[in-house]
Amino acid sequence: MLTVIDEFESYLKSRYSSPNTIKAYLGDVKEFLKLSSGFDTDGVEAFLSVLFKKGLSVSTITRKLASLSVFFDFLRQKGVVDTNPLDVIDKPKQSRPLPKFLEVDEIIALLEGIKDKRDRALVELIYSSSLRASEVLNLNVEDVDLDNLRIRIKRKGGKEVYLPITERAARYLKEYIKDRTGGPLFLNRYGKRLSDRYLRKLIKRYALSSVFKDISPHTLRHSKATHLLNSGMDIRILQRFLGHSSIRATQIYTHLNLKELAEAYDSSHPLARDDG
């Protein structure tokens, strides 16, 4: 006599061509039959509890529940169950990966390792104002207001906003800009605007040589946001500063482990001061 597993295997073979998919589904269902208490919501929830106690990742548990959903559809077709309990059970949510960020001492090491005037001004500005790569690359000299310590940038959608810059960033910008009054702010060796590709290579190279980490321009943006939130900035103000349309995008920074950073920070940001 065929067992439920035998019949389910035939059911899978009639619908899926990949042997690996069939094997995975069968393995998950066999585990369920071994650990569960029944073909109902309580049985599935009991199985789910066991999986969490095992310390399995959310993605692994989600995959096992997908296998069970197929199994219960099979049972429903056979008349064994009336409904699929997976239709009403809350699935574990896949956590959004937390953004990478550098700690304060790593930011200092990165900046101090940059001797080129243009590159120092560029990285200082990205970190100072938590800029996206596109925002810093599209800047023109006339967008920089050194007297009032601010820059004018274009956000997504073309909206123009002013953002503050630190005295440190302003000092390095002044040294780099010199007597230029217009045109692209950051230039390549041919006098043209820097490209996104070159910016990413530049930051990666400096980070690998100073803090031994492979980072992108966005890492600097995440780092500044993390540092500001940790030093007491209201999350609504941070949302406007970063240009997030939704507070949910900003709230990810509240989930970072900032205990060590908090101990390293004073009430005012150490890199906001012009310490030379």
What pLDDT, on a 0 to 100 scale, did the predictor assign at position 1? Answer: 47
| Average pLDDT of the chain to the nearest whole number | 85
What pLDDT, on a 0 to 100 scale, did the predictor assign at position 62? Answer: 82
**pLDDT > 80? residue 69:** yes
3-class SS string, 194-220: CCHHHHHHHHHHHHHHHCCCCCCHHHH
Share of the chain above pLDDT 90, in %: 43
What pLDDT, on a 0 to 100 scale, did the predictor assign at position 195? Answer: 95
For the stretch 81-107, pLDDT in tens is 888 888 877 666 655 565 678 989 999
Tokens of 21: 């998919």
For the stretch 216-272, pLDDT in tens is 999 999 999 988 988 888 888 888 899 888 777 787 766 553 443 344 433 344 454
CA distance 163 to 167: 13
Better-predicted residue by pLDDT, 173 or 34: 173
Backbone phi, psi, residue 151, to 5°: -130, 155
Q: DSSP secondary-structure letter at 144? A: E
Residues 177 and 109 sit within 8 Å (Cβ to Cβ): no
CA distance 120 to 137: 14
DSSP letters, 7-23, are HHHHHHHTT---HHHHH
For the stretch 41-63, pLDDT in tens is 888 888 888 888 887 777 788 88
Rg (CA), the chain: 27
What pLDDT, on a 0 to 100 scale, did the predictor assign at position 264? Answer: 40
CA distance 28 to 71: 10
Q: Where are the beta strands (DSSP E) in the chain?
A: 144-145, 150-154, 160-164
Residues 50 and 56 sit within 8 Å (Cβ to Cβ): no
What pLDDT, on a 0 to 100 scale, did the predictor assign at position 252? Answer: 73
108-112-117 Cα angle (round to 5) = 130
Q: Which domains does the chain have, with CATH numbers?
A: 4-87 (1.10.150.130), 104-272 (1.10.443.10)
- Rounded to a whole number of angstroms, the distance between the first and last alpha carbons of the chain is 84
From residue 157, give the alpha-carbon distance in Å to each of 132, 135, 194, 245, 272.
14, 12, 22, 11, 29
What pLDDT, on a 0 to 100 scale, did the predictor assign at position 91? Answer: 66
Better-predicted residue by pLDDT, 272 or 6: 6
What pLDDT, on a 0 to 100 scale, did the predictor assign at position 95? Answer: 57
For the stretch 134-182, pLDDT in tens is 999 999 999 999 999 999 999 877 889 999 999 999 999 999 999 999 9
What pLDDT, on a 0 to 100 scale, did the predictor assign at position 105? Answer: 92
Q: Are strands 150-154 and 160-164 parallel, antiparallel or unpaired?
A: antiparallel
Indicate which residues carry an active-site annotation: 132, 156, 218, 221, 244, 253
Please compute the mean of the pLDDT values over residues 183-202 and round it to a whole number.
96
Q: DSSP secondary-structure letter at 258? A: -
Short-list 34, 38, 36, CA closest to 49: 36
Backbone phi, psi, residue 145, to 5°: -115, 90
What pLDDT, on a 0 to 100 scale, did the predictor assign at position 255? Answer: 54
What pLDDT, on a 0 to 100 scale, did the predictor assign at position 266? Answer: 39
CA distance 33 to 44: 10
Specify the pTM: 0.60
